[in-house]
Amino acid sequence: MFNIIETFVSIDGEGPTSGELATFIRFSHCNLRCSWCDTAYSWDGTSNVKQMSVEEIYRYIKQTNVKNVTLTGGEPLIQPNIELLLDALLEDQELVVHIETNGSVDITALKEKYQNRSLHFILDYKCPASKMSSRMCHENLKAVDQNDVYKFVIAAPEDLHTALSIMKSYDLIDRCQVYFSPVTDNIEPKEIVEFMKEHCLNDVRLQLQLHKYIWPKEMRGV
């Protein structure tokens, strides 16, 4: 059984299918405590948790008639037996599965197990302003491929310089898709654009969280 905070259909607010419909499965619990966390309700005990089996989750996803599935949290990859759910979802060739993960859990074994399947990792890299940089799994920077996204969450100018250093050290633009995602309460997106221009960051995308422009940022289930 999995501990679930919420299930809903909305648009993907970020990632490679941004703007497309997706079915969201939000798991409870997270192993990080980012300074700017915008989903603390998934781990701080303020939300009701429902238990769902693999079969119940799959049945819910199928009844939505939406092909994109986003597993998020919290942190999906710390859920016990998450591979049982992935096995079931990836057996269904009609589904495209995205895992939004905080970058602290090694994905190497999962990449090997599910190669050539419709599974895409959207990994955060927590920069210094998050207070969680030391928890990042650097093996992930070598495991990703063009089906995956590395998202640098930017909350301060120093975060931009960290992102640039990591990108260069791991040839990340050649490995996967790379996004800069601003914490808009902390930094203006235009500041990120100026940095991208200054360093001629071709193939890096500025990503704004669409759902926060459509609905109030505190609103759930969207």
Let me know if residue 222 belongs to a domain. Answer: no
Phi-psi region of 182 (alpha: psi -120 to 50; beta: other; left: phi over 0): beta
Let me know if residue 219 belongs to a domain. Answer: no
N residues, the chain: 222
Let me know if residue 26 belongs to a domain. Answer: yes
Let me know if residue 221 belongs to a domain. Answer: no
Q: Which two tokens stand for residue 222?
A: 């969207």
As a whole number of angstroms, the distance between CA 153 and CA 130 comes to 8
The answer, yes or no, to whether residue 221 has pLDDT greater than 70, is no
Q: Say how many C-beta atoms besides its own lie within 10 A of residue 37's C-beta.
A: 17
The answer, yes or no, to whether residue 46 has pLDDT greater than 90, is no
Average confidence (pLDDT) over 185-197: 95
Q: Compute CA 164 distance to the chain's CA centroid, rounded to the nearest angstrom.
A: 20
Let me know if residue 92 belongs to a domain. Answer: yes
41/34: higher pLDDT: 34
Question: What is the number of domains present in the chain?
Answer: 1
Give pLDDT tens digits for 47-106.
888 999 999 999 999 999 999 999 998 899 999 999 999 999 999 999 999 999 999 999
Q: Give me the pLDDT at residue 13, please.
A: 80
Q: What are the distances in angstroms from CA 25 to CA 67, 114, 118, 171, 178?
A: 13, 20, 17, 32, 24
Let me know if residue 196 belongs to a domain. Answer: yes
Q: Give me the pLDDT at residue 69, please.
A: 97
pLDDT band at residue 42 using 50, 70 and 90 as cut-offs: confident
Q: Which amino acid is at 78?
A: I
The CA-CA-CA angle for residues 55, 60, 66, to 5°, reads: 125
Range of the domain at 53: 2-214
Going 29 to 91 to 175 to 182, the CA torsion angle's sign is: negative
Let me know if residue 21 belongs to a domain. Answer: yes
The CA-CA-CA angle for residues 70, 183, 133, to 5°, reads: 80
Q: What are the distances in angstroms from CA 22 to CA 128, 185, 190?
A: 31, 26, 28
Q: Give me the pLDDT at residue 218, please.
A: 64
The answer, yes or no, to whether residue 37 has pLDDT greater than 90, is no
Pairing of strands 2-11, 50-52: antiparallel
Q: Which two tokens stand for residue 152?
A: 């640098």
Give pLDDT tens digits for 111-166.
999 998 899 999 999 999 999 999 999 999 999 999 999 999 999 999 999 999 99
CATH code, domain with 42: 3.20.20.70
Let me know if residue 206 belongs to a domain. Answer: yes
